[in-house]
Amino acid sequence: MPPPAVPHGMCLKVIDNRNMRGGMGSETNPLKFMNQDYNILQEYYLKKGRRFADDFFPPDPRSIGEGLLKPEDMARVEWMRPTKLCPDAAEFIVESVSRFDYSQGIVGNCWFLASVGALTFQSKFLQKVMPDGQSFSHNYTGLFHFRFWRFGNWYDVVIDDYLPTIDRQLIFVQSKTYNEFWPALMEKAYAKVCGSYADMHAGRVSEALMDFTGGVHIHYNLKTAPTDLWEIMYRAFQSEVLMGCETPRGNESEEELPNGIILGHAYTVTNVYQVMSGRYPVKLVRLFNPWGKKEWNGDWSDTSPLWNTVSNEDRKQHLLDDNGEFWMSMEDFLRTFDNIDICCSYPDFLEGKSVSRWTSKYHNGSWVIGSTAGGCTNHRDTFCTNPQFWLKVNEMDKACEQGQSNVLVSLIQKPDKRNRRLAAHHGIGFIVFAVPPEMTSEGKLGTSFFFSRYPVAISDKFEAARQVMSFFRLEPGQYVIVPSTFSPNQPGEFILSILCKNEIHIQ
């Protein structure tokens, strides 16, 4: 099950320790992925007058990966530089970056491309991911680079510009402008991080949203979402956020419904707007299909007669072309889609005005076989051996008392292999217990402590996912948070992130 919905009525300023430090692995000083330094390589190839070829992600079948192409098609693949595909015309960006620049190729990475669509709206995040100054003319060496957040650190990822083609046509993400190549190069950089293009096949939109922001992730299950979700989404759209959503899984892969919606598919949320239909207000959501085609055909779609009931100004400004983007009512959105993910640096949109300043802290940890991999509470004898994080919550300023929840806990498990599809995802979760004030945090708490009291908060379920999270309220006092795998002796590394509306101390 997805993480529980975030209660409404919260506004926060995040003091993010990761971004403030500016040390190695920060967004201002990223780590070099696979120890490849863009500046050193660029200088070397400029001096030599040669074009860069990447030995760590070579232009051969290993980089495509298994299962995407039939053997006979793999034999036809030719890796070509954009300067050969479009002699004297290749451009990194034509005019500007837009969600309409591309359409999905044969790899099932709609989750990634829906996130790219969201990224194109926010120049702050876009400039982090796609550094300026790259082109096929000035200081061109066949070398490009992109930046992604991965499990606690930002990485600068170097690639060459060889792209896989068949009959001189790109086989993965395709640009709608023949000579524009930023989408294909960004996809290649992310494929390198994942291990291959095949390793990008299937995923959750939240994964790429997180990797583009390195910030706060909020998830809503639309079946249990708060009644004011549209208002939250509206405020989010006015802020610096990335939003994506997903449809429920169908009986077949990417099954198309009669209403034009694709099941098991990711979409970008591109606008949230209210129109007056006659005398009645209607709350709308605009969505984008990364295929660049296949749209909703119900109420408020491109050809819906309901657009004749709004003002001429709204109709001219918001009525769309057949380009994969469409409007639908909030009611239809809730009925049709399964969940929505919002990623941002500062989720100020959760409520109106607030003077609260939230604190963000994170810790790296590990589960070690025979030592700290104790499993969940089903395993009474070993649960207490899991890592234990003591949390002290101070009194809250009275001006910040509005809203019920004051703590967000997120648990991310790190992959055990480079190739994304081969990484083992254990069932993970966490449990929070209140600690009596007379107890101290010297040494680990034992079995008798955990099985003599009820937890005050838990993650939703132990889920075999990259991340689980929960948003809840803790009164001032001291607590212990225990992250664990579902079964004992399942090794792994994790990141435990804690955001709190109060001042907190963690040990």
Q: What is the DSSP letter of 91?
A: B
CA-CA distances (angstroms) from residue 488 to 60, 229, 480?
41, 38, 20
Q: Per the structure block, which two tokens stand in for 82? A: 């954009």
Q: Is 362 helix (H, G, I), strand (E, B) or coil?
A: strand
Among residues 428, 415, 493, the alpha carbon closest in space to that of 467 is found at 428
Choice among 201, 217, 265, 426 that is catalytic: 265
User: In the chain, what's the furthest Cα-to-Cα distance?
Assistant: 75
Smallest Cα–Cα separation from 317: which of 281, 274, 269, 287?
274
Task: Please name the amino acid found at residue 34.
Answer: M
Tell me if residue 289 is catalytic: yes
289, 339, 406, 502: the catalytic one is 289
**H-run or E-run covering 113:** helix 110-119
Instruction: Examine the residue annotation and report whether 344 is marked as an active-site residue of this protein.
Output: no
Integer Cα distance of 406 and 403 in angstroms: 8
Quick check: is 8 catalytic? no
Q: Where are the alpha helices (DSSP H) in 281-373?
A: 312-318, 330-336
Degrees, nearest 5: CA angle 8-14-17: 145
The length of the chain in residues reads 507
- State the helix-helix crossing angle for 110-119 and 182-194, rounded to 10 degrees: 130
DSSP H or E run through 244: strand 241-246
Cα-based distances in Å from 9 to 48, 223, 404:
59, 19, 8
Tell me what percent of the chain is helix, strand and coil, each rounded to the nearest 5: 25, 30, 50
**Helix 205-213 × helix 110-119 angle, to 10°:** 40
* Catalytic hit among 11, 110, 376, 400: 110
Name residue 360's beta-bridge partners. Answer: 16, 499
Catalytic residue numbers read: 110, 265, 289
